[in-house]
Amino acid sequence: MERSMSSINDRVRLLRNYLLRNGLCAFIFPSTDPHQGEYVPEHWMTRQWISGFDGSAGTAVVTLSDAALWTDSRYFIAAEAQLKGTPFQLMKDGLPETPSIEEWLCEKVKRLKSEKVKNLVVGIDGEVYTPEDIEQMEAAFGKAGIKLRTDLDPAEELWTDRPPIPKNKVEIQPLEFAGETAQSKIERVRQALREKGADSILISQLDEIAWLLNLRGSDVHCNPVFVSYVLLTLDEVTLFIDEEKLDDSVRNYLKEIGVKVKPYKDPSKSPLKGETPKVLPLREGSGGSLISSLKSIKNAAEIEGFRRAMIRDGVAMVKFLRWLKPAVEMGGETELSIDRKLTALRAEQPLYRGLSFDTIAAYGPHGAIVHYEATPETDVPLEPKGLLLLDSGAQYQDGTTDITRTIALGPLTDEERLDYTLVLKGHIRLALTRFPDGISGTQIDALARYAMWQHGINYGHGTGHGVGSYLCVHEGPHQIRHTWKPAPLHAGMTVTNEPGIYRAGKHGVRIENTMLIVEDGETEFGKFLRLEPLTLCPIDLTPVIWDMMTQEEVDYINAYHKKVYDALAPYLNEEERMSLPQPLQKASPCPSKGGENKIVK
């Protein structure tokens, strides 16, 4: 979309006329869509359209007299540049002096009032907010005597070249990969509804719909989902979707499994002829929605699919790593060029369906920018020194992958080696931890941080998130995180293990494997669990300060690299096999130490 200053100024002028015509004094443009997805289809990028700011997180607010955009520290610099010359003032979220949107709006609107603006009405597109969000806003504005109107979408009228809602084809996820029929999933949901005393559930999260119906799509960047809603009652299932997206095979499949099809429209916002006497709230306090909780426990076929996908992904990664260092030494490689190379190697793999997120190939200081994505403007050549942080993943029809490796391209500073070693120790500690079934990820998060905490180091992001089965790479409801995530951990869940250290202007280190939560015995104190690595790719050992590693940690690395070798060797040529790390021969000076972590079976 066109993002020149002039076009932004025109849009804001047009919007203000629109506000006057509709009796509004302000409008709020968030970065959400009706389906609360992580990636938003262009059709719903109204905040970017009105403000020109294209970061993944931000909210634009336009009043009759003012305009401002809120975003977080990740985007301060980019937003500053993109808003230059527009009517939008940058509001730096998270700084003490920054007013909340509600505070700012109330103050501006009060001023408008003194200027004899009659209608103290703020507009939002209700479809892109959750009911909870809307309630909160109504409460906040209500105090200041401001009304909220939720049934308007100015972009519909003013955004002339607005991209349509995607109409890509929907495809069936075969039972061999899904592992459970849609009918069986629907029955389990109904059982849960009965237990909760609810008659129906309205599903707007696209990955929940795709999981429930064993369907996949390609409407959303990196996410094999399709734009739709599902209303599931005790005796009916209705899919609200644009008919164009369904070919005969899918239409027949839906008929077979007894799913009715209706045009795409948020059923909660449209008259449902009494179809929803008692809708179960989309989100329940206790960590995640009903569907996301069911979806988070992978069945045997999904787990097998993950294992196969991880072999293919590991093969691509090993081929890439073998290629990387010599290529960098020859020169001419950049963040973007190696991203293309890695993507090409993954694309060669069977069942490859695309990336699961935009690759983070961050060299040197870029590694310290947690959400860095190389662009032609930021791209830098890779030199045979320092650290490359490479966070990437793919969608395969039988599983989704998410892996981070930090690679020494040559000589390192002592600080780079220390940070790398502490991150590796944290990653291994969490992988070695046995923990009680059903505790929250918040309760084990510190184990990934302990080693770096002792050195006065910490990181601001979470330690782990769920990964979908040929679905979203970030999936709930559970997380391993320092902030409170109540969703309990259970066997069958996938979760990443990705501690990191980031030194602004210097480097970043992150080591991430996707793990499977597995049972690890039952004692008089209950069931216990541990994390088993699904990801199959060597961890670079050249940066490790071995004096800081315990024998137990060395043993873990050896066992993991043996597992990687055994799984990948059959798919690699002799040269590639040779490139895999051999077991380390560090002797054990202190067998006693085993006591600290002995697993009693």
Chain positions 425 to 454 lying near its own copies, rule: CB under 8 A, are: 425, 432-436, 439-440, 442-447, 450-451, 453-454
Residue listed under structure tokens 């059959």: 570
- The two three-digit tokens of residue 253, written as one number: 């499949």
Based on CB atoms, which residue is closest to its own copies, 274 or 591?
Answer: 591
* Of 189, 212, 216, the residue nearest 200 (C-alpha): 189
160 lines the binding site for its own copies (CB under 8 A): no
Based on CB atoms, which residue is closest to its own copies, 121 or 451?
Answer: 451
541 lines the binding site for its own copies (CB under 8 A): no
d(CA 109, CA 112): 5
Question: Cβ of residue 435: shortest distance to its own copies, in angstroms?
Answer: 6
Among 351, 457, 491, 567, binds its own copies (CB under 8 A): 457
d(CA 371, CA 55): 11
519, 438 contact by CB (below 8 A): no
Based on CB atoms, which residue is closest to its own copies, 242 or 419?
Answer: 419
Question: Cβ of residue 528: shortest distance to its own copies, in angstroms?
Answer: 5
From 171-179, 286-294, 338-346, 589-597, give the range in contact with its own copies by CB under 8 A: 589-597
Question: Cβ of residue 509: shortest distance to its own copies, in angstroms?
Answer: 14
597 lines the binding site for its own copies (CB under 8 A): yes
592 lines the binding site for its own copies (CB under 8 A): yes
456 lines the binding site for its own copies (CB under 8 A): yes
Among 550, 555, 556, 557, binds its own copies (CB under 8 A): 550
Among 455, 532, 573, 582, binds its own copies (CB under 8 A): 455
Question: Cβ of residue 597: shortest distance to its own copies, in angstroms?
Answer: 5
Question: Cβ of residue 296: shortest distance to its own copies, in angstroms?
Answer: 20
Chain positions 225 to 254 lying near its own copies, rule: CB under 8 A, are: none
Based on CB atoms, which residue is closest to its own copies, 154 or 364?
Answer: 364
Question: Cβ of residue 94: shortest distance to its own copies, in angstroms?
Answer: 15
Based on CB atoms, which residue is closest to its own copies, 289 or 440?
Answer: 440
Chain positions 462 to 521 lying near its own copies, rule: CB under 8 A, are: 482, 484, 486, 503, 521
Based on CB atoms, which residue is closest to its own copies, 375 or 585?
Answer: 585
Phi, psi of 324, rounded to the nearest 5 degrees = -60, -55
Chain positions 54 to 83 lying near its own copies, rule: CB under 8 A, are: none
Question: Cβ of residue 548: shortest distance to its own copies, in angstroms?
Answer: 3
Instruction: Kindly state the number of chain residues that form the binding site for its own copies, as judged by CB under 8 A.
Output: 51
Chain positions 259 to 288 lying near its own copies, rule: CB under 8 A, are: none
Q: What is the CA radius of gyration of the chain?
A: 26
CB atoms within 10 A of CB 73: 11
d(CA 405, CA 466): 18
Question: Cβ of residue 463: shortest distance to its own copies, in angstroms?
Answer: 11
Where on the phi/psi map is residue 94: left (φ > 0), alpha (ψ -120 to 50), or beta?
Answer: left
Chain positions 520 to 539 lying near its own copies, rule: CB under 8 A, are: 521-526, 528
596 lines the binding site for its own copies (CB under 8 A): yes
Residue listed under structure tokens 């990196």: 222
Q: Is 247 helix (H, G, I), strand (E, B) or coil?
A: coil
Residue listed under structure tokens 């998130």: 465
27, 68 contact by CB (below 8 A): no
From 43-51, 56-64, 327-335, 590-598, give the range in contact with its own copies by CB under 8 A: 590-598
Among 547, 570, 575, 585, binds its own copies (CB under 8 A): 547
3-state SS, one letter per residue, for 461-493: CCCEEECCCCCCCCEEEEEECCCCCCCECCCCC
342, 348 contact by CB (below 8 A): no
> Could you tell me where the DSSP H helices lie in 34-159?
46-51, 76-83, 101-114, 131-143, 154-158
Question: Cβ of residue 413: shortest distance to its own copies, in angstroms?
Answer: 15
d(CA 147, CA 134): 12
Q: Cβ neighbours of residue 27 under 8 Å, at least 6 residues apart?
A: 15, 19, 61, 62, 122, 123, 124, 152, 154
From 113-121, 327-335, 391-399, 593-601, give the range in contact with its own copies by CB under 8 A: 593-601
d(CA 301, CA 290): 21
Question: Cβ of residue 279: shortest distance to its own copies, in angstroms?
Answer: 18
Based on CB atoms, which residue is closest to its own copies, 122 or 501?
Answer: 501
Among 549, 564, 568, 580, binds its own copies (CB under 8 A): 549
* Of 336, 295, 339, the residue nearest 474 (C-alpha): 295
Q: How many helices (H) and strands (E) does the chain have?
A: 17, 27
Residues 413-425, buried b or exposed e (16+ Cβ, 10 A)? eeebbbbbbbbbb
Based on CB atoms, which residue is closest to its own copies, 188 or 434?
Answer: 434
Based on CB atoms, which residue is closest to its own copies, 181 or 450?
Answer: 450
Question: Cβ of residue 445: shortest distance to its own copies, in angstroms?
Answer: 6
DSSP strand E in 234-300: where?
A: 237-240, 259-262, 279-280
Based on CB atoms, which residue is closest to its own copies, 326 or 526?
Answer: 526
Chain positions 377 to 436 lying near its own copies, rule: CB under 8 A, are: 425, 432-436
Question: Cβ of residue 453: shortest distance to its own copies, in angstroms?
Answer: 5
Length of the chain: 601
Where on the phi/psi map is residue 390: left (φ > 0), alpha (ψ -120 to 50), or beta?
Answer: beta
Question: Cβ of residue 505: shortest distance to its own copies, in angstroms?
Answer: 11
Question: Cβ of residue 493: shortest distance to its own copies, in angstroms?
Answer: 18
- The two three-digit tokens of residue 545, written as one number: 């300060």
Question: Cβ of residue 594: shortest distance to its own copies, in angstroms?
Answer: 9
Query: How far from 134 is each of 28, 124, 137, 237, 276, CA to CA, in Å?
Result: 12, 9, 5, 27, 20
Based on CB atoms, which residue is closest to its own copies, 43 or 593?
Answer: 593
Based on CB atoms, which residue is closest to its own copies, 370 or 567?
Answer: 370
Residue 388's identity, in one-letter code, is L
* Of 111, 123, 146, the residue nearest 15 (C-alpha): 123
Residues that bind its own copies (CB under 8 A): 425, 432-436, 439-440, 442-447, 450-451, 453-458, 482, 484, 486, 503, 521-526, 528, 545-551, 589-593, 595-600
